[in-house]
Amino acid sequence: MDYQLLDFGNGRKLERFGEFILDRPAPAVQAYKKNRPKLWSQAHSKFFREKDLKGKWVDRVPFPQSWNVCINGLTFSLKRTPVGHLGVFVEQADNWNWLTSVTRPGMKVLNLFAYTGGSSIAPALTDPSVVVSHVDSAANTVQWAKVNGQLTEQATGKKLSIRWLTEDAERFVLRELKRGNAYDAFILDPPSYGHGAKGEIWKISDDLPRLLDECMELTNGAPEYALLTAHTPEFPAEELARLLEQRLPGGYRFESGAMRPYSVDLPPIPCGEFVRVVKR
């Protein structure tokens, strides 16, 4: 795999993405000490946060505008952004494996807040008859996801059936309900706060329960599976599981816990929470 968490501590993490080693902020590990202090001098680029979440990258070597990595069979085009992101959240990799294991031929899958496409591409790879609707409010992010889909198609030789949609998540769901469309499964990775394509305001504490109700309606009250992840402290895995359990009928298998980036021999670090449910 083209990724490895090399070390973390003092509010930062050291990661390898393909041939490049990057040093980035990680507030969740502020209280931890670095495990391998000498290793940090090998970083090819370091991100310093300044104001309004933005910052700058300081390079030790010449850096490309973008480069490709393969993670769990998916190919991503990475770019260093002004907020320190690269275009992939590797803590989702185990969820991608799970999605490939529970997606069956012919399924229609809805992925909301879909970012650069990992959780859209993974189920679509299982069979050409699987159709995934990838929904995100940022047009540039949807285009980035589309590139990742094309790169994965080239690398695997498989054709993906993905609808790349720039739209506010709830607005899209309500439109699908009016059209009488239905889905077999849904995937949500909602932000704590956000803005839709037309200025819609999203606040997870106010809006997630309603959106879950609407997703349940889209899946006829009994989805084949659902994946819900969050990076919001007020929504630990137990709360995410409770929200789904309140809405699902019996007969589901639940898995929940903390998401972790891949590391060979380091202790786990917190990277958000997940709950996965599938019909027994």
Where are the chain's structural domains?
3-78, 90-279
Interior angle at CA 58, CA 57 and CA 59, nearest 5: 115
pLDDT of residue 264: 66
Tokens describing residue 140: 């540039």
Position 197 pLDDT exceeds 70: no
The band of 63, judged by pLDDT with boundaries at 50, 70 and 90, is very high
Segment among 22-26, 137-141, 196-200 with least mean pLDDT: 196-200
Q: Which residues contact 215 (CB under 8 A, 6 or more apart)?
A: 110, 112, 173, 186, 188, 223, 226
The band of 202, judged by pLDDT with boundaries at 50, 70 and 90, is confident
Segment among 26-35, 131-140, 183-192 with least mean pLDDT: 26-35
pLDDT of residue 267: 80
pLDDT in tens, 118-146: 999 999 999 999 999 999 999 999 999 99
Classify domain 90-279 at the CATH superfamily level.
Vaccinia Virus protein VP39 (3.40.50.150)
The band of 67, judged by pLDDT with boundaries at 50, 70 and 90, is very high
- Residues linked to residue 279 through DSSP beta bridges, in sequence order: 252
Question: Percentage of the chain with pLDDT > 90?
Answer: 87
pLDDT of residue 50: 81
Judge whether 192 and 231 are in contact, CB under 8 Å: yes
pLDDT average, residue stretch 143-152: 98
- Residues linked to residue 20 through DSSP beta bridges, in sequence order: 17
The band of 201, judged by pLDDT with boundaries at 50, 70 and 90, is confident
The band of 261, judged by pLDDT with boundaries at 50, 70 and 90, is confident
pLDDT average, residue stretch 73-93: 96
Position 237 pLDDT exceeds 70: yes
CATH fold of 3-78, please?
Immunoglobulin-like (2.60.40)
Q: Which residues contact 46 (CB under 8 A, 6 or more apart)?
A: 22, 23, 24, 57, 58, 60
- Residues linked to residue 5 through DSSP beta bridges, in sequence order: 15
pTM: 0.94
Q: Where does residue 173 rank: exposed (0-12), middle (13-18), buried (19+ CB within 10 A)?
A: buried
